[in-house]
Amino acid sequence: MTARDLSFIHRYVPPRDESAAPTLLVLHGTGGDENNLLNLGHALAPNAGLLSPRGKVLENGMPRFFRRLAEGVFDLDDLVARTHELADFVGSAASVYGFDPGNVIAVGLSNGANIAASLLLLRPRLLAGAVLFRPMLPLEPQQQPDLNGVPVFAAAGRFDPLVRPEDTERLVTMLRDAGADVTLRWQDGGHALGGEEIEAARRWLAPYLDRDAAHASATN
């Protein structure tokens, strides 16, 4: 299998330090593409590898990762199918590019955050952690996943016109009930992403990156 055989248009940026860094699965919002959040990924983890797919669904010409029927109303059948398709893509990409499939951390914004949350709920062993900007509960799984100890950072706006605070809180509650270690950060703003919360996410993520580096040093 080669990069051309993978099922998503995507970008892959190798890590600067292959012995220590995780791979960030970078997931754009509605209207973004595979290039849209690469700078965000570098800002959060400069040494990490980046895997950034483009959503396959088009809404008025804008890429998304799954269909919605209206604002905040998702096509659940499509969401489930797209979630498993994305999870399978990550596994295939790990084989092609040689990164550790057990050390993948999702970084998602809006629609990207929602499909990352869906990955946590439907394919809980796929991700080693997640950074979710402007997420909401995408679906309620038939079975509670086992997310024991999985670290998750969620950032939301109290005055977001697209994501109600209670929708973010429902997701956080479900993740915590499944055992995830969730940090929730609120900011007094809307849907746009601010520099302060990017910095907060970088600081939150740093200990997990340092832990990976220490483990790599101990085993080399």
Residues serving a catalytic function are 110, 160, 191
Answer whether 43's CB lies under 8 Å from 102's CB. Answer: no
Which tokens go with 160?
């977001």
Residue 113 CA to residue 132 CA, distance in Å, equals 5
Residue 12 CA to residue 181 CA, distance in Å, equals 28
Dihedral of CA atoms 98, 103, 106, 107 in degrees, nearest 10, equals -90
**Residue 50 neighbours by CB under 8 Å, 6+ apart:** 11, 12, 13, 23, 24, 26, 38, 41, 42
Helix axes 111-122, 76-97, angle to 10 degrees: 80
DSSP code of residue 128: S
